[in-house]
Structure 1
Amino acid sequence: MKILYLVTKSNWGGAQKYVYDIATSFSARGHECVVGFGGNGELAERLEGAHIRTHSFSSLARDIRVFKEIKSCVDIALFVYHEKPDIIHVNSSKAGGLGALIGRLLGVKRIIFTVHGAPFREERMLLSRYAIYIVTWITCLLAHAVITVSKQDERDIARMIGVSKKVTTIYNGLTYDLLPERTRPKERTTYILTVGELVANKGLAYALEAVSMLKNSGKAFHYTIFGEGKERSKLERYITMKGLHDYVTLRGHKTNLEDEWHNYAVFLLPSVKEGLPYTLIEAGRAMLPVVTTTTGGIPEIVRHEETGLLVPPKDSIRLAEALSRYMDDRNTAKKHGTALHDHVVQHFSHSKMIVETAKVYGLVGKKA
């Protein structure tokens, strides 16, 4: 069985990790997997390291440019025609729409669309949000099946006309073969961690406002952010303006963070828009207590006062209060971190994600 995966960008984010995990898993099961994407980022490097065949579309990017869209459409059509896949699995709005349309026109037997957080929930002009909603709806109509990564996304997508019977939720998952060491910094300083792209959707400006409040209240902490993105210069200006250089470090992108998690006491994810973030599952695997927001599928991972602390998006004061609580009450922090670990191990496993995806592919009972 040949499976073709399409995703718009080749950087390393949640959608790209998902594509990598799915493609490598089905390749290991004997299927021929090919991945197409825009650019030549970390996803490309990782897939090549895993001996997965790739194809980069120079014209495929997130921003809309009319002539590039035409070229992307032609390039993807030629690629699909040449590859003749049995299944096309599309991810993200642009690659999803183009891939699903071309797949239908070329008679691909099975087209799957994964929604990584409903894109029309992003903060944009109203007209843009309507346009994205329509594109998402058309993509869902063109697909034979739609996967959402959270029940919240499933509810949003299932409201679309003609789509409800196609939609199923399959949670992102990790492997838990190696349990984390339960050593944490013992000193008075609380080390706080965020991992994510430096983009507006991650709400990092609100996190910096929150830690500025903590600084002003005399709390002993250090906040580290791993990631890169177009908001970096804005965040650097805020750090300078608020005198946070001794309290905040932008570490940039790091390929492997497995050796970092045990160095921190609290994980912070201040997002204003999410699907189902892998980083929260990774925090749970590392037994870190989590402060995060109620957006998207986050409450399906983090249950307030049980497996972490939830606050409304864009609320710096509540973020600061939640962080302060964990700093002052380390017993509760440890209790929540342990409970989150137990929760993600039970509900967010890699093996379950692959089994459920195989069912959507129609591979159950075949060589799956």
Structure 2
Amino acid sequence: MNKTLVFIINVDWYFRLHWLERAEYFQSLGYSIHIISNFTDNATRDELISKGFVCYELSVRRKSINLLRELRSIFKLKVLIESINPDLIHCVTIKPNVYGGLLNRLFFNKPIIYSVTGLGAVFSSTSLKFVLLRRFVTVLLRLISSKKSRFVFENSEDYQLFVDVGVLKHSNGTIIKGAGIDLTRFAPSSPPMNKSVLFAARLLKDKGLHCLIDAKNILAKRGVDFTLNVAGIVDDDVSSAISLHQIEQWAREGVINWLGNVQDMPRLIGENDIVCLPTTYGEGVPRILIEAASCQRAIITTDVQGCREIVTHESNGLLAEPRDEVSLADHLQTLLLDRYKLIEFGIRGREKVENEFSQEMVFERTHKVYNELLRL
């Protein structure tokens, strides 16, 4: 096969974290891989180029609503797609989906995939700004939906929402759970039983770190102490970003153990008893939770879409109420004091990942979507 596949994605580190293995897989099948993204790190770009991918710069500010800036980005994207002339376009996250979809509808009429990797604040926030934005985005999503397109969701609840709002009018939606996990790399192990909890995520207020710190303080008053290890990416191009200054202040005060941006995630997860992600907005399926389950770790997260896809309450983890530090503290206390439950949840989590979230399953299902579109 000699097909050209272009990924349009908002930022380079997100591609490397969630899409690199899939791109390598399709390259191995004979696809020529092109990546259009905002390259914030020369090292990441150089790594992708060294793998034989062709990279193109597109500066898309995720939190920007500056009309002139956005129009410039759309025009540049049009020029890039014209120059690549791909057989297949794969867009990831809201802005690339909308911009790539509109251009494809108006100019190219290529087979196109829209990956919906969680609906985020646009679809979960109740603020007026996001309510208005949600209505506008929904209209655009209906417009770009066509028989030559596929919307790929990471969880069933996002899929159903797109059915309800009339985006999937051509039976053109499918569910592929998460990015897929390398079951060998993220191997199971026994928890160290060292009273440690890992929070590993982008440093956004929406991810719930503040709530986790409040829960830690509640437990300290109950005489239940634990080490809160925090690792993640400082992501300033989001309105809800937590500043590095704040993170470092918490570290100086001894509230958290700040580890920075850790690359060796299997080792990091293995050093902790529990992985906790008290997110407050709609996720796809959080990768850290799939990785944690694969490593046989008990999980505490919140009862929101995406998280419910990987965690079954009282089976492989516990689901706290969003923004509820008392609920979170109660669940943390349960697992910190119950060695049997900690181990049992981990074992069941590994079984769930083996049955539903393996890399091979994701590759196979994505390949099926590509083939369906290329035959149209």
Relative to the length of structure 1, the TM-score reads 0.90
Residues 294 and 313 in structure 1, CA contact (< 8 A), matched pair in contact too: yes
Partner residue of 2:336 out of 299, 319, 327: 327
Partner of residue 257, structure 2? 249
Residues 290 and 357 in structure 2, CA contact (< 8 A), matched pair in contact too: yes
Give the superposition deviation at 1:161: 1.9
Identity of aligned residues (%): 21
Give the whole-Å Cα distance in 2 for the aligned partners of 1:351 and 1:220: 40
What SS is found at the alignment partner of 2:114?
strand
Q: Does 1:271 align with 2:276?
A: no
Give the whole-Å Cα distance in 1 for the aligned partners of 2:102 and 2:250: 45
Residues 191 and 273 in structure 2, CA contact (< 8 A), matched pair in contact too: yes
Residues 141 and 163 in structure 1, CA contact (< 8 A), matched pair in contact too: no
Q: Structure 1 pair 226/337, CA: closer, same or farther in 2 (3 Å)?
A: same
Give the superposition deviation at 1:124: 5.7
Residues 188 and 294 in structure 2, CA contact (< 8 A), matched pair in contact too: no
Partner residue of 2:214 out of 209, 212, 229: 209
Unaligned runs of at least 5 residues, structure 2: 235-240
Partner residue of 1:5 out of 3, 7, 27: 7
What SS is found at the alignment partner of 2:10?
strand
What SS is found at the alignment partner of 1:11?
helix
What SS is found at the alignment partner of 2:345?
helix
Give the letter for the 1:343 counterpart.
Answer: K
Q: Does 1:103 align with 2:104?
A: yes
Give the whole-Å Cα distance in 1 for the aligned partners of 2:150 and 2:290: 25
Structure 1 range deviating more: 245-254 or 63-72: 245-254
Q: Does 1:167 align with 2:173?
A: yes
Q: How is 1:130-279 mapped onto 2 (pairs within 5 angstroms)?
A: 130-143=132-145, 144-164=149-169, 165-172=171-178, 173-178=180-185, 180=187, 182-186=189-193, 189-229=194-234, 230-233=241-244, 235-236=246-247, 239=250, 245-273=253-281, 274-279=283-288
Give the whole-Å Cα distance in 2 for the aligned partners of 1:45 and 1:208: 37
Q: Structure 1 pair 263/49, CA: closer, same or farther in 2 (3 Å)?
A: farther
Q: Structure 1 pair 337/68, CA: closer, same or farther in 2 (3 Å)?
A: same
Give the superposition deviation at 1:129: 2.7
Give the whole-Å Cα distance in 1 for the aligned partners of 2:295 and 2:84: 40
Q: How is 1:264-303 mapped onto 2 (pairs within 5 angstroms)?
A: 264-273=272-281, 274-303=283-312
Give the whole-Å Cα distance in 2 for the aligned partners of 1:215 and 1:132: 40
Residues 118 and 284 in structure 2, CA contact (< 8 A), matched pair in contact too: yes
Q: How is 1:27-46 mapped onto 2 (pairs within 5 angstroms)?
A: 27-41=27-41, 44=45, 46=47
Give the superposition deviation at 1:295: 1.0
Partner residue of 2:318 out of 298, 309, 320: 309
Give the whole-Å Cα distance in 2 for the aligned partners of 1:36 and 1:133: 27
Unaligned runs of at least 5 residues, structure 1: none
Partner residue of 1:344 out of 336, 349, 353: 353
Give the letter for the 1:19 counterpart.
Answer: W
Give the whole-Å Cα distance in 1 for the aligned partners of 2:315 and 2:191: 20
Give the letter for the 1:262 counterpart.
Answer: G
RMSD of aligned Cα (Å): 2.3
What SS is found at the alignment partner of 1:198?
coil
Give the whole-Å Cα distance in 2 for the aligned partners of 1:179 and 1:228: 20
Provide Cα deviations, 1:249-305, integer angstroms capped at 9, x if missing partner. Answer: 122212232222211001101100122111111001110100100112211110000
Partner of residue 54, structure 1? 55
Relative to the length of structure 2, the TM-score reads 0.88
Give the whole-Å Cα distance in 1 for the aligned partners of 2:265 and 2:50: 18
Residues 224 and 248 in structure 1, CA contact (< 8 A), matched pair in contact too: yes
Give the whole-Å Cα distance in 1 for the aligned partners of 2:374 and 2:6: 21
Residues 78 and 103 in structure 2, CA contact (< 8 A), matched pair in contact too: yes
Partner of residue 21, structure 2? 21
Give the superposition deviation at 1:324: 0.6
What SS is found at the alignment partner of 2:112?
strand
Give the whole-Å Cα distance in 1 for the aligned partners of 2:286 and 2:68: 33
Residues 20 and 43 in structure 1, CA contact (< 8 A), matched pair in contact too: no
